[in-house]
C-alpha cells in the first residue's frame, strides 16, 4: 500500500487543477449557459444514463466532456489504473463486456462516467488531510469593502457528505453552505458588512443564483446528484400551495438528492476520514465500475418494458450477480490491500438510480405511471 500511496500522491494536484479550471469555467459562463436557448433534443444517445433532464446540466455535461477536458481526465484516469495491473485488468474486462453487450457508445459512456467520478474523488483527496483541501481554492466570491468568500475542494467534499447524512432532498445551495468552513467564512463577511451598513443579502443572492446552480449542474453532469425527482413533484399543481423556508414557494427552489453513485462517493469519503488512509480510493474505483456497469445494464433494460416491478426485480438481481462476480475477482487480487476493497454501492443505491432512470426515460416517452411507481416504492 505504501508504494500505491506514493504513486497516487502525484495525481492529487494534477486532478485538482483540472477540476478547478472546469468549475471556474462553468461559473464564469453561467449567465450564458442558463440563458442560451435549447437547440437539441436532450435525449440523444451520447447522454445515455445521465440522471437528469435539466437542459443546463446537459450544457455543463458538454463542457466537462469537451475534447480538451476529456484528454486530461482520461490521462489521469489511465495513470491511476496503471499503478496496479489488477485495477487495469478489471477495467479492461468490464469495459469489453459492456461493449460486447450494448455497443461502443455504451462503452464510451462507461469510460466517461467512471473516469469523471474517480478523478473527481481524487480532486477531493486525501480526504483525511483536510488542511490541504481547505486551502485549495476553486473560486473566490468578491465582496466589496469586505473579506472575500472562497469555495474550496474541502467545501465540496464536506457538503456532499452532509447531504448524504441528511438522507433527504435539499436546496442546491447546500453544496456551499453545507461546509462548516464556508459557513464560518460567510459569517465573518456578514459581520464585517453589517459594521459598514452593507447588506449581506446581495452576497447571498450571488451565492444562490450565480455559484450554487453551476455547482449543482457540475455535480449532476458527473451523475452524483439529481433534481429530477423534484421536477416530477412540481408537475402537480397542488404543490404550489405548499411552502418552505419562511414562505418561499417550493416550486422556486432547486431541490436535489444524491444519486446512488453520489451516495457511494459520500460513503467513500466518510470511510476515508474514519480510516485515515487512502483505502477508500481503490474501493471507490471498484464501486464506480460496479455502479455504472449496472446503471448501463438497467438503462437498456428499461427500454424493453414498462413493468416497474420487473425493472426493480431485474436491477436487484443484476446487482447481486455483479457483486458476486466482483467479490470473486477481488478475492484473487495479488495484494492484501486490494483484497480488502470495500464496495460502497448497495441495494438502496440500486433502487435510487433505477427510479431516476425509469422516470427520465418514461417521462420522455410520455408513458410514465406515477401512481404505480409510488405504490411500488411504498411496498419496497
Q: Which tens digits make up the pLDDT trace of 326-359?
A: 999 999 999 999 999 999 999 999 999 998 998 8
Q: Across all residues in the chain, what is the average pLDDT? A: 87
pLDDT band (50, 70, 90) for residue 243: very low
Question: What is the C-alpha end-to-end distance of the chain, expressed in Å?
Answer: 40
Q: Is the dihedral of CA 108, 109, 112, 113 positive or negative?
A: negative
Lateral strand order in the sheet of 225-226: 170-171, 255-258, 225-226
81-91 average pLDDT score: 95
The pLDDT tens digits for 257-272 are: 899 999 999 999 999 9
Q: What is residue 367's predicted lDDT score, i.e. its pLDDT?
A: 74
Is residue 223 left, alpha or beta, with left meaning phi > 0 and alpha meaning psi from -120 to 50? left
Integer-rounded Cα radius of gyration of the chain: 21
pLDDT tier for residue 248 given thresholds of 50, 70 and 90: very low
Lowest mean pLDDT among 99-103, 208-212, 250-254, 258-262: 250-254
Q: Has residue 322 got a pLDDT over 90?
A: yes
pLDDT at 281: 96
| Span 15-56, pLDDT tens digits | 999 999 999 999 999 999 987 555 444 444 456 799 988 889
Which pLDDT value is given to residue 262? 97
CB atoms within 10 A of CB 294: 24
- pLDDT tens for each residue of 179-234: 999 999 999 999 998 888 888 998 999 999 999 999 999 999 999 999 876 666 65
pLDDT of residue 168: 75
Instruction: Give the pLDDT score at 230.
Output: 63
Beta bridge partners of 257: 226
Least confident of 124-133, 240-249, 308-317: 240-249
pLDDT at 12 over 90: yes
Amino acid at each position: 500500500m505504501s508504494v500505491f500511496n506514493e504513486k497516487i500522491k502525484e495525481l492529487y494536484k494534477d486532478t485538482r487543477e483540472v477540476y478547478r479550471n472546469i468549475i471556474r469555467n462553468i461559473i464564469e459562463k453561467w449567465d450564458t449557459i442558463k440563458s442560451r436557448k435549447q437547440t437539441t433534443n436532450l435525449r440523444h444517445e451520447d447522454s445515455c444514463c445521465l440522471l437528469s433532464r435539466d437542459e443546463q446540466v446537459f450544457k455543463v455535461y458538454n463542457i466537462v466532456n469537451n475534447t480538451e477536458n476529456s484528454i486530461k481526465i482520461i490521462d489521469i484516469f489511465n495513470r491511476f489504473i496503471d499503478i496496479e495491473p489488477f485495477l487495469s485488468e478489471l477495467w479492461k474486462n468490464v469495459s469489453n463486456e459492456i461493449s460486447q453487450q450494448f455497443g461502443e457508445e455504451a462503452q464510451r459512456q462507461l469510460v466517461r462516467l467512471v473516469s469523471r467520478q474517480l478523478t473527481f474523488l481524487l480532486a477531493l483527496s486525501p480526504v483525511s488531510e483536510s488542511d490541504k483541501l481547505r486551502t485549495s481554492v476553486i473560486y473566490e466570491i468578491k465582496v466589496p469593502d469586505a473579506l472575500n468568500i472562497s469555495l474550496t475542494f474541502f467545501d465540496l467534499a464536506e457538503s456532499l457528505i452532509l447531504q448524504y447524512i441528511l438522507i433527504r432532498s435539499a436546496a442546491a445551495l447546500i453544496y456551499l453552505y453545507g461546509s462548516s468552513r464556508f459557513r464560518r467564512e460567510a459569517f465573518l463577511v456578514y459581520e464585517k458588512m453589517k459594521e459598514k451598513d452593507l447588506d449581506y443579502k446581495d452576497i447571498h443572492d450571488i451565492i444562490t443564483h450565480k455559484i450554487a446552480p453551476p455547482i449543482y449542474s457540475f455535480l449532476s453532469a458527473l451523475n452524483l446528484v439529481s433534481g429530477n425527482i423534484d421536477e416530477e413533484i412540481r408537475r402537480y399543481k397542488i404543490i404550489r400551495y405548499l411552502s418552505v423556508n419562511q414562505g418561499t414557494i417550493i416550486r422556486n427552489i432547486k431541490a436535489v438528492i444524491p444519486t446512488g453513485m453520489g451516495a457511494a462517493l459520500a460513503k467513500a469519503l466518510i470511510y476515508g476520514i474514519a480510516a485515515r488512509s487512502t483505502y477508500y480510493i481503490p474501493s471507490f474505483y471498484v464501486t464506480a465500475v460496479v455502479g455504472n456497469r449496472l446503471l448501463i445494464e438497467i438503462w437498456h433494460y428499461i427500454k424493453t418494458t414498462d413493468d416497474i416491478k420487473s425493472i426493480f426485480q431485474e436491477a436487484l438481481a443484476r446487482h447481486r450477480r455483479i457483486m458476486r462476480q466482483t467479490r470473486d475477482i477481488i478475492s484473487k487480487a495479488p495484494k492484501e490491500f486490494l483484497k480488502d476493497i470495500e464496495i460502497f454501492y448497495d441495494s438502496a443505491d440500486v433502487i435510487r438510480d433505477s427510479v431516476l432512470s425509469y422516470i427520465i426515460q418514461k417521462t420522455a416517452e410520455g408513458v410514465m405511471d406515477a401512481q404505480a411507481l409510488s405504490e411500488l416504492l411504498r411496498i419496497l
